[in-house]
A and B are shown apart, each in its own frame.
Chain A
Amino acid sequence: AQSVTQPDIHITVSEGASLELRCNYSYGATPYLFWYVQSPGQGLQLLLKYFSGDTLVQGIKGFEAEFKRSQSSFNLRKPSVHWSDAAEYFCAVGARSGGSYIPTFGRGTSLIVHP
């Protein structure tokens, strides 16, 4: 069965600093990988996805992620964090279930941004 591990429950960074959120996955086949962001009181918004091809993927809001098959990782990065980036971030692996790919989410990493 597929699974996602986000080892950091909380990450605190200063505004303007760089950011890396870690994600490790377990899946028997080629994974479909996603990063979502959830602001308080809101649903999830897709930041970026990896299906195949270039292992460095660009997303919205200046985020990028790199797929490393050898490390089973899909870490999210941003070169300069803004205060508005404070939110909960979820990594997910899409696994086939019937006719669909169903995302399995990690437990999330809460990003705190200090001024």
Chain B
Amino acid sequence: ETGVTQSPTHLIKTRGQQVTLRCSSQSGHNTVSWYQQALGQGPQFIFQYYREEENGRGNFPPRFSGLQFPNYSSELNVNALELDDSALYLCASSPVPGLTEKLFFGSGTQLSVL
């Protein structure tokens, strides 16, 4: 039991729509990062939030955006969905940024874009 929970577990959207994915971090963790895992690929870093500020971003377009709330939970928003956005989206929390060894992953949200 990692304590990182993500919702929903599965989601189906159509191209052009917008989607919001949610993540509750493990108790005591103030850093949340998001990853996209396409089928047959490793996770790719999207961005990281620390104390409600974005403090690292991977090679993803601006239509991928996020929020972190005062309770350290987080949202990932994707606008103008494309077929290639179909993937498993993983959230991970850690007690502080920079300690990659302390990443705890949720089980992910499986997004299908039709």
Chain A residues engaging chain B, CB cutoff 8 angstroms: 4, 9, 32, 34, 41-46, 49, 51, 90, 92, 94, 97-108
Contacts and interface: CB of A to CB of B under 8 A. Distances in A.
Contact of A49 (B101, B104, B106): B101
4 closest A-B pairs by beta carbon, nearest first, are A43-B105, A105-B42, A100-B97, A44-B105
Nearest to B54: A98
A103 B100 CA distance: 7
Interface in B59-86: none
Interface string B26-45: 00000101000000111111
A105 B43 contact: yes
A98 B55 contact: yes
Interface in B6-20: none
Contacts of A45: 2, 105
Contact of A108 (B41, B92, B106): B41
